[in-house]
Structure 1
């Protein structure tokens, strides 16, 4: 028997990631977008069979299983509140969240499953683990994180850079950051460990943002129906890459 389709609300649908999600969801079996939500009023009410809504109209969206959010911090509160109200899952890649918004997400995880990640690439999940282990093995070495993105990216350092920095801190390092905004760079992260007379570089380069969109869609399919709690990409991947896969239920 075929599994029923996972019904998705895409929040931030007019952004680059939102557009990639809408395009790729049409290619993924078992994936159905029931609403595409954007800050601006839509010029068309239905595009390729998908209802188009503004943020102010989001409460009128059809029933959905998971909201997939790639928006801006100022838009995050509304989609989190809607998910709590409807008791459905939230997958979010929105970076630059304030401390109060993170606290609200933690509180919401007592009633709904949430997976937030600064990066939905499997390669970055592996890099996170490598950085932690390298930092632990290289006490006293300098640690620098250099990230590069397109000129339209607002937050700096990137959420991924800060997540990699947290991994370095877990290993005992004290990372410093540098951010470059140039052209249409999708995303590049270099974590550099420098000692006396030698240097180690760990690099991840994203060639196309489809890798993030596909990862988010896989996360949405995986998260649908899970118990309330905070989940990570590591939980989704299990022990395949040697990361802690215990979700933090609240």
Structure 2
């Protein structure tokens, strides 16, 4: 199966190892992975900030960069959810309407691609630790992802997964929300960290590095020992 990679801006710039680990898992499962070096942003930051015209230019480039029939896989439910749910609004009643619809049907977040498309729930990973899982808002609400990551983590040897209280509550990041409403954002992160620490977990796992960046930064500031790690990094461990 041919798969195109979509690597979001912050993963490319701040967490490239997660992208490499996603490739490692996909190749192990028999996928032919390709990466279009011309790709840039999906357009979400500009769109969320209210710059729809500028966002549409970036989104038009995304459409060209990911044209074709291959599946597209991303280590981010946030970007995946934006493309699926908001490109149709940006390009409504336009000449590329069918292209946008086709794109949305081919684009998958990493965990849902493994479970729903490849039909895989055990990648042979080993990760001896106690962990809790954070449902990102984008994963849960934009992409309807709930069980896919948990099915994959359930089959990781040595991993004990413990659910935290209010697991579906936002961590407070929300992109520019964390900048515009810092006190609220910090309070939400603190509550998420308190719930995670209460499980006595060593790690917080999620599909979204944007959430993990926010939670991890606040956790480090508070001096907590709990660590953050992306799902792909867990699944690429031990083999």
Pick the TM interval, shorter chain: 0.3 to 0.5
Higher helix share: 2
The structure whose Rg is larger is 1
**Length-normalised TM-score, structure 1:** 0.36
**Length-normalised TM-score, structure 2:** 0.37
